[in-house]
Chain A
Amino acid sequence: MIQRYRASAGIMLTPAVTLIGIFILLPMMLTVWLSFQDWSTQTPFSSASFVGLDNFREIFGASSVGRDFKGALTNTAIYTALSVILILPLSVAFGLMVYQHDVAGGTALRTVLFSTYMVPMIAVALAWSKLYSPSEGPLNQMLGLIGIGPQPFLSSPRSALVSIVLLNVWQQVGYFTVLAIAGLTQIPGSLYEAAKLDGANRFEQFRFITLPLMRRTLLFSAVIAIINAVQVFEPVALITQGGPVGSTNVLTYHIRRVGIERAQGGLGSAMAVMLMLSLIVVVCALFALANRKDQE
């Protein structure tokens, strides 16, 4: 009986497992295999030659290849951290504002917030590159009205990456606000009523009810925000091309340059593997932290 059950389960799982194997596992394994090869992306896989850990040694070495990779890895980490640090609190704050039934215009605000997520990145990039323009940009003109001199924004290695982060936050925060609202709807109203009867003020209600009960939602939002941020490509390709001085050169853009433009498939694959490993470590650490909090 059990054997028959196992056989039918196996038959039913086969199509899904096969598809996952072909379209997800195989490309991942291929990338890992290529990271140990010297291979030009313009030649067949059969022309790849095994070089052991040379590609990894090179991307962490002192040459320009290593410097550029480490710079791109750092930029990606900063971009991701800043994006998550800004997006999560803002999404909760906007979520709380929009979720209040007694606030007029809540639905309109929700629509406006979510609409930024629906704007194509090319339009966002065009608009923001003009907003940030050092000479005629509206942002500098507004700063000028309050006595602040023109800021270089995208033209300085100090501010270019942060400027790209702000663009990302502006576009993504609406989506994460919707997730926050979904989390808020899961919290029973009776808890707030009981807290009110016990004399808890608004801040205490937020601190001891809202925040703890939104932990799962926030964990999900954080994971999605990290994955989205790590994959950043379009604003860099469309506005800064990784500059100035490589200050906005993020890993996806750099891997494209190395792997496709320079056809250095082995090096590009090693970089992609490191990106994948970094992402796995960060997400696992986040889940481990959340589990520990749950156990506490």
Chain B
Amino acid sequence: MSFAWTSKLALAAGLAILPATAWAQSVNISYLTHWSPETVALLEAAAKDYAKANPDVSVTVRAVPFGDLLTTLRSQGGNADGPTIGGIYDLWLPELARDKLVAPAPDAVASEVKASWPAGVTSAASVGGTLYGIPNEIDVYALNYNKALFKQAGIAAPPKTWDEFKDAAKKLTNKEAGQQGFGMINSWAAGVVHPFASLLVSNGGELVKDGTPVLDSQQAAQTFQLYEDLIKSGASVPAMATADANTTGPFLDNFVSGKTGMIIMANWWESALKTGMGDKFADIATAPIPVGPSGDKPHSISYSWMTVVNANAGAAEQKAAWEFLAWLNNPKSGKNGASAMSDILMSMGILPSRLSDIEAHKEKLGSEFLSGYVSVLADAKPFPVVPGGQEFSESLQQTLEALQYGQVSAKDAQATAQADATSILERAAK
């Protein structure tokens, strides 16, 4: 072949490749999360690793406070320039899917998720049988207690029943020292509702059954009554309960400074507790939720998070986003057979949900603090994922806070909670 022909062929090949190269270089995807700066740095490092093998894709990470995450997704997710990937709470999925803000997962991703995650977690990331996100974290509630305070109060073991729980809370209360037995939460919807729901399911009750609220049950009445008893006896002080999802406020301050004997909290607070307590973190232990008079064995509430892709992003961005997420959650992207995502989650004390990740992090999940959570996971009941779930949560929060501050009786709180939940879920289902 003459030099002229070779040159022409090379030029033609170059021209043919040029559009693809130009297209490939232009794929920028953004990842919206509520994680702390330290965790965002880990995600950015993972994105950098991904870029080594995929120089045509650039991932930028943007973090907003938890309280602004849903608003940001709703206000910016409706257009192509919004975040390409978002980390979301499973309760938000039904409405985000209904409003076509999140894209269904491609078949390959859906098959991988169905084969590699527990069925319950996969179903929480699906609406009407269609998978919308790749699940990552799973959170579950358990009783956290301060062993040093238990020793001082002469309590030998964590409470197993509500009677033991009330008794321990009473013994741990020392008004003069500003110490409360059990710390409730207010001013943050999930923080208020999840511990209540954990006690409810441990008493054999449920929040919602087959899409209908069942807060009018006897089990729910007993749970509302438990709250009223704890408040009236002074074992729980609402002024010590203010908190938010950014792990700030008196609720955390009082527990880390030894002013609260027991709380019901999720595993993801491990990093906040460690930071706040330093060496005294060793005083904290985990136990199953005490069983109520109508319950059979300890249960608690679990919920999951997932990463979704913006349905309004361009086709190239969506494709790149799913490929990045598939890599991030793949057992080859992290250390020792774990996914890069699970390594990030474990840095915060969050339980990964992929089966291979649980196996890969077996040793760390066996720590004194986290093993208490892993042990209750099997009997945990998922928080109901229904349209209107967030509004239902916020409404129940208001009622429980009114009960905490003595504005309503347990009986009135139960009636209000059931009536509000019925009206909210009926409206959302239309």
Contacts and interface: CB of A to CB of B under 8 A. Distances in A.
Contact of B188 (A152, A241, A245): A241
A260 B75 contact: yes
Interface stretch (A38-46, A197-205, A272-280): A38-46
A245 B402 contact: yes
B99 A262 contact: no
A243 interface: yes
Contacts of B43: none
B423 A64 contact: yes
Interface stretch (A112-120, A153-161, A165-173): A153-161
A14 interface: no
Kindly name the residue among A64, A135, A237 whose own CB sees the greatest number of chain B CB atoms within 10 A.
A64
A152 B178 CA distance: 13
Contacts, number: 88
A244 B391 CA distance: 17
Contact of A245 (B100, B250, B257, B401): B401
Interface stretch (B193-201, B238-246, B330-338, B371-379): B238-246
Contacts of B257: 135
Which bucket holds chain B's interface residue count? 35 or more
Given A246-B398, A263-B95, A156 B186 contact: no
B391 A262 contact: yes
A237 B74 contact: no
A31 B275 CA distance: 47
Given A42-B101, A246-B398, A152 B239 contact: yes
A134 B250 contact: yes
B101 A243 contact: no
Nearest to A150: B178
A35 interface: no
B100 A261 contact: no
Contact of B395 (A64, A136, A256): A64
A243 B70 CA distance: 19
Contacts of A136: 253
A112 to B, nearest CB: 30
Nearest to A152: B239
Interface residues of A, number: 31
A248 to B, nearest CB: 9
A240 B187 CA distance: 7
B216 interface: no
Contacts of B419: 63
Interface of B: 67, 70-71, 74-75, 78, 95, 99-101, 178, 186-188, 238-242, 244, 250, 253-254, 257, 259, 390-391, 394-395, 398, 401-402, 404-405, 407, 419-420, 423-424
Contacts of B423: 63-65
Contact of A244 (B78, B187, B394): B187
B400 to A, nearest CB: 9
A156 B419 CA distance: 26
Contacts of A40: 99
Contact of B240 (A154, A155, A240, A242): A155
Contacts of B391: 262
Contacts of A244: 186-187, 238, 241-242, 401, 404-405
Given A134-B240, A155-B242, A245-B401, 15 more contacts: A40-B99, A136-B253, A152-B239, A156-B239, A156-B405, A157-B401, A237-B67, A241-B67, A242-B187, A243-B186, A243-B188, A244-B186, A244-B238, A244-B404, A257-B394
A68 interface: yes
Nearest to A38: B430
A226 B232 CA distance: 40
- Nearest first, the 9 A-B pairs at minimum CB distance are A243-B187, A42-B99, A64-B420, A152-B239, A245-B401, A155-B239, A64-B395, A244-B186, A155-B242
Interface in A15-70: 40-43, 63-65, 68
B405 A261 contact: no
A22 to B, nearest CB: 21
Contact of A263 (B67, B99, B254, B395): B99
A261 B71 contact: yes
Contact of B250 (A133, A242, A257, A261): A133
A149 to B, nearest CB: 10
A40 B95 CA distance: 10
Given A244-B405, A245-B405, A263-B95, A68 B398 contact: yes
A157 B405 contact: yes
A154 B395 CA distance: 21
Contacts of A245: 186, 398, 401-402, 404-405, 407
Nearest to B416: A64
19 contacts: A64-B423, A133-B250, A134-B240, A135-B178, A135-B253, A152-B239, A154-B242, A155-B238, A155-B239, A155-B240, A156-B238, A237-B67, A241-B187, A243-B242, A244-B238, A245-B186, A246-B401, A260-B71, A262-B95
Contacts of B424: 64
B150 to A, nearest CB: 22
Contacts of B95: 262-263
A157 B53 CA distance: 55
Contacts of A157: 401, 405, 407
